[in-house]
Amino acid sequence: MCAPEWYDVNYVINPWMAGNLHQSSRDTAFAQWKTLHQHLQQIADVRLLHPRQGSPDMVFVGHTALVQHGVAAVSSFAHPQRQTEEPHLRRWFQDAGFLVWETPRETAFEGEGDVVFDAAGGRLWAAHGSRTCKQSHKHVADAWHTPVTSLHLVDPRFYHLDLCFAPLSGGELLYFPEAFDAASLAKIEAAFSADKRIVISEIEATQFACNVINVGKHILMGKVETDLAQRLRNLGYEVAELNLSEFIRGGGSAKSLVLRLSDMDVTHGSSVN
C-alpha cells in the first residue's frame, strides 16, 4: 500500500475525476486509508511504498504492477500524469529482490488494474480498450509463460478491468456484463459456469462493487448500497464494508489501493468452504 500523503484529484484522466477537481479532503482520505490498512493487516502482511510529491495517484498502487512468483511486471502507464510513479516502483521492486519485467513505453499496461490472475493463479485475464493496450497482453503473460485471455472494455466509466471484473477465491466471478463487448462476454461465460457468475447491477458497478480485495475467505470492499455484502456472506465470505468515498472521487476503491505481492495460493488458503 502507499499512504495518501500527496493524494489529490488535480487532473482528469478518467470520467470520475471530472467534477471532483480538488474536492477531496486529504485528512479524510488519510483516515479512510488507515482503516483499510488496519483491516488488511489482520489478514495479510502489508508492505508500504513511500509516497512522492507530484504523484497524487500513487495511493492507487494496484495499477503499478502485476506480481507473481517473485516477478513484478511493472506498469507502463497510458497517461504521463501517472508515468512519474514508474521509477519509484521499479526501485522498490529491485530493492525488495523481485525480478522486474519491463513493458515498452509504446504498449501501455496498467498492472492489476487491467490484468489479473484467476483464483488458481494459472491463467491471466487482461483488458484493453481504455488504458492497457492489447499488444501488451502477450508480452506481460510471457513473464510467467501463462495463457492469457483478452477482454475488450467498452464503457468509459469502467476504464479498468478491476472496476467490472473480480474473480473470487471460491471460484465465483463478480462482473458487470455491460462493460464488455459480446465476444468478451462469451469468453467469460465459457470460463465461469452460470452458478459461479455474480452479475453486478449498474448501480452496484458505479459504486465500484467489483473493486474488492479478496484474501482467502476475507473480502474488504467499499460501501455498496445494496445487499451485495450479505450475498457474499451467504457464500461463506467474511466481508468488511469500508467508507472509501475520498478515493471514489479519484476513480477507485478498495482493490485499487493495494497491490498483491505474494502468490495467491500461499497466503491464507485459496478457497472458501
Question: Does the protein bind ligand ARG through residue 8 (CB under 6 A)?
Answer: no
**Least CB distance to ligand ARG at residue 50 (A):** 19
Question: What is the DSSP secondary structure assignment for residue 230, as one 8-state letter?
Answer: H
Question: Does the protein bind ligand ARG through residue 252 (CB under 6 A)?
Answer: yes
Task: Write out the binding residues for ligand ARG, residues 140-169 only, by CB under 6 A.
Answer: 160, 162-163
Question: Does the protein bind ligand ARG through residue 24 (CB under 6 A)?
Answer: no
Question: Does the protein bind ligand ARG through residue 112 (CB under 6 A)?
Answer: no
Amino acid at 260: R
Question: Does the protein bind ligand ARG through residue 270 (CB under 6 A)?
Answer: no
**Least CB distance to ligand ARG at residue 194 (A):** 27
Residue from 60, 92, 109, 144 binding ligand ARG (CB under 6 A): 60
Distance CA 30, CA 37 (A): 10
**Least CB distance to ligand ARG at residue 149 (A):** 19
Contact in structure between 34 and 26 (CB atoms under 8 Å): no
Tell me whether residue 12 or residue 240 sits nearer to ligand ARG (CB atom): 12
- Chain position carrying cell 475525476: 17
Distance CA 258, CA 270 (A): 18
**Least CB distance to ligand ARG at residue 63 (A):** 6
Amino acid at 171: G
Residue from 57, 112, 172, 246 binding ligand ARG (CB under 6 A): 57
**Least CB distance to ligand ARG at residue 60 (A):** 4
Question: What is the DSSP secondary structure assignment for residue 51, as one 8-state letter?
Answer: P
**Least CB distance to ligand ARG at residue 162 (A):** 5
Distances (CA, A) of 267 to 2, 146, 264: 20, 21, 6
Distance CA 25, CA 30 (A): 9
Task: Write out the binding residues for ligand ARG, residues 210-229 only, by CB under 6 A.
Answer: 211
Distance CA 149, CA 65 (A): 18
Give burial (CB, 10 Å; 0-12/13-18/19+) of 167.
Answer: buried
Contact in structure between 168 and 175 (CB atoms under 8 Å): no
Residue from 2, 4, 7, 13 binding ligand ARG (CB under 6 A): 13
- Residue 119 phi, psi dihedral angles, 5° rounding: -60, -25
Question: Does the protein bind ligand ARG through residue 65 (CB under 6 A)?
Answer: no
Residue 109's nearest CA partner among 69, 82, 145, 70 is 82
Question: Does the protein bind ligand ARG through residue 250 (CB under 6 A)?
Answer: yes
Using CB under 6 A, which of the segments 11-19, 172-180, 235-243, 260-268 binds ligand ARG?
11-19
Question: Does the protein bind ligand ARG through residue 82 (CB under 6 A)?
Answer: yes
Question: Does the protein bind ligand ARG through residue 251 (CB under 6 A)?
Answer: yes
Closest residue to ligand ARG in the complex (CB) = 252
What's the grid cell of residue 67? 506480481
Distance CA 212, CA 205 (A): 11
> In the complex, which residues of this chain contact ligand ARG (CB under 6 A)?
13-14, 17, 57, 60, 63, 82, 113, 160, 162-163, 211, 250-252, 256
